[in-house]
Structure 1
Amino acid sequence: MSKMISVIVPTLGNREAELKRLFKSFQEQTNKNFEVILVTQENHDCIDYLKTPELDLHHIKLNKKGLSYARNRALEQIKGSIVTFSDDDCWYPPDSMERVENAFTATCNDIIVFQIYDPISKKYYKEYKDSSNKKVFTRDIFRISSIEFFLKAESLKKAGVFFDEDFGLGTNYPSGEENVFIYDLFKSGLKIQYFPEVIVYHKKPETNSRLTEPQLKSKGPLFKRLFSTPIALILLFLFFLKKRRHINQPFNQLALAIREAFIYKKNGGKLH
């Protein structure tokens, strides 16, 4: 039986060229059994140049910003049996949806993690393993991006997992939401497998780009959200030691991240 895929696309609606490229890639899919849920948080009029009769498109208008908030609102309305999360500057190879459906049909996994590739620079988004892993370990969680994994909607519902709205763009902690989400799924016992196949395109970040203060500040609360405070502090030291060349005033930023770790109180993943 054909498995319908739900693609959730949150956007501020201000990237017209990127959104048109993304939606063009939707129109070119060989497997047409998918829906697109566009969640706009600012420029709702972008729907006017994205509407097309070829797509099963649903539009959610929100007046509150927040990436995790937008994704959670969309999750409440999906119709597909498989769901994924797209950024508005992603785009997809023509056979992506077809290969995703085939992968889920051939396995009994709850979640399948694929690869991201930048066809402009002709480089992979990050370093990937060559062979597929039947099991994803805890150490792999921090390397998984939300745009490269697909999961069964039924498994997600049974696990009762959603995005923690304390994390993600538009919040005080503008990163780490995908780490928290996939870790909560992992802890719930869902079966996760990695497939060494390119499933989505995205521009590769510059290797020498500097980490911003909000990103670094988020690391303290993130590690505390996932682990205990003592482990969070150890991970912070290791993270700053590894990334120190990409951080302005690393000791000051580390102190800020540690302070935020002590301030942050776990909300238990409650929705806002």
Structure 2
Amino acid sequence: MISVVIPTLGTREKELIRLFQSLSSQTLQDFEAIVVSQDNHDKVKELLAPYSFPIQHIKLDQKGLSLSRNVGIKYIKGNIVTFSDDDCWYKSDAFEKVQSYFDQHSTGIACFQIYDPEKAVYYKEYLKDPREKVGFLELFRKSSIEIFINLSVVDKEKVTFDEDFGLGAKYPSGEENIFLYTMHQEGYKASYVPEVVVYHAKPSLDTRLNNKAFASKGPMFKRIFNTPIGIALLTLLFLKKLNHLEKPIPFYLNSLGEMFRYKKSRKR
């Protein structure tokens, strides 16, 4: 069974309906949805009411993407788990492709592709050929919604997100990078499958690299490595994205400052 953990604030009504409809239309129906609402619980309950696929609705009084994912995974019953955004939706044969892949491969993590069908473009640049093992640096280019985790291989207790990172947290990005790095450190192999399974609107690079998002990069690099390596990687990222930053020097200095202020939380 595939478990889909869906954190939501319950404010994106049209997007949630689209997501739930895409789940209802799956060619493989052996899945469950764990919907973790952080607000507007009654609205989320109302939107879920028309659907007959297995649903668990968890209501939280706290906000935070990583927190919601960590809570949601406690309720899953499947042996494969993925973490959905409430504004993405799935190709009708997505779960069939995922299940088929894990039936034939013993990898712990499989990374697929995201596509924007409205703009007719891929969410990011992807390799054309499959990879049995994704390289360490390539892990930094993966998004959480394209990742499926095989809990027959990966210890469920290890599947946890740093709650200091992710939307609604102090640092609003970087949670999937930290997660995949942790999986890498634990010795779990991630493979790459050049198949589209999930749809998501492709944002402009400028919107993805706003001040708050870029400020998260410094603490993220420090969290994964250490301060000297973090400074080097932040500087390289800054030089690479220089032309896409609205205020390059202030953004860089802000991220650098956040790196020095960051201290790893005991609760992860």
TM-score of the pair, normalised by structure 2: 0.96
In 2: Cα distance, 1:211 partner to 1:65 partner: 22
2:32 counterpart of 1:24: no
In 2: Cα distance, 1:149 partner to 1:121 partner: 22
The aligned counterpart of 2:80 is: 82
Greater alpha carbon shift after TM alignment, 208-217 vs 152-161: 152-161
In 2: Cα distance, 1:62 partner to 1:157 partner: 25
Q: Could you tell me which amino acid in structure 1 is paired with residue 5 of structure 2?
A: I
- Alpha-carbon contact 1:142-1:179 (below 8 Å) kept: yes
Q: Which of residues 36, 40, 46 is equivalent to 1:39?
A: 36
1:208-258 Cα deviation digits (max 9, x unpaired): 546221111111100000111100000111111111112122112211111
SS at 1:59 equivalent: strand
2:111 counterpart of 1:118: no
Q: Which of residues 10, 28, 35 is equivalent to 2:7?
A: 10
Provide the aligned C-alpha RMSD in A. Answer: 1.4
Structure 2: any 5+ residue segments left out of the alignment? none
Shift of 1:155: 3.6
Q: Could you tell me which amino acid in structure 2 is paired with residue 57 of structure 1?
A: I
Distance 1:47 1:172, change over 3 A: same
The aligned counterpart of 1:73 is: 71
Greater alpha carbon shift after TM alignment, 73-82 vs 52-61: 52-61
Distance 1:155 1:164, change over 3 A: farther
2:202 counterpart of 1:217: no
Structure 1: any 5+ residue segments left out of the alignment? none
Q: Which of residues 136, 139, 142 is equivalent to 1:141?
A: 139
SS at 2:196 equivalent: strand
In 1: Cα distance, 2:70 partner to 2:54 partner: 20
SS at 2:209 equivalent: coil
Shift of 1:54: 2.4
TM-score of the pair, normalised by structure 1: 0.95
- Alpha-carbon contact 1:220-1:261 (below 8 Å) kept: yes
Question: % of aligned pairs identical?
Answer: 50
SS at 1:13 equivalent: coil
In 1: Cα distance, 2:166 partner to 2:63 partner: 10
- Alpha-carbon contact 1:210-1:247 (below 8 Å) kept: no
Shift of 1:53: 4.7
- Alpha-carbon contact 2:27-2:93 (below 8 Å) kept: yes
- Alpha-carbon contact 1:51-1:57 (below 8 Å) kept: no
Q: Which of residues 251, 254, 258 is equivalent to 2:252?
A: 254
- Alpha-carbon contact 2:80-2:148 (below 8 Å) kept: yes
Q: Which of residues 236, 241, 264 is equivalent to 1:266?
A: 264
Q: Could you tell me which amino acid in structure 1 is paired with residue 6 of structure 2?
A: V
Q: Could you tell me which amino acid in structure 2 is paired with residue 21 of structure 1?
A: R
Shift of 1:205: 1.1
SS at 1:84 equivalent: strand
Greater alpha carbon shift after TM alignment, 4-13 vs 202-211: 202-211
Greater alpha carbon shift after TM alignment, 257-266 vs 65-74: 257-266
- Alpha-carbon contact 2:206-2:246 (below 8 Å) kept: no
Moved over 6 A (4+): none
- Alpha-carbon contact 2:5-2:34 (below 8 Å) kept: yes
Distance 1:43 1:158, change over 3 A: closer
Q: For 1:167-178, list aligned pairs within 5 A.
A: 167-178=165-176
Distance 1:30 1:50, change over 3 A: same
Q: How many corresponding residue pairs?
A: 267
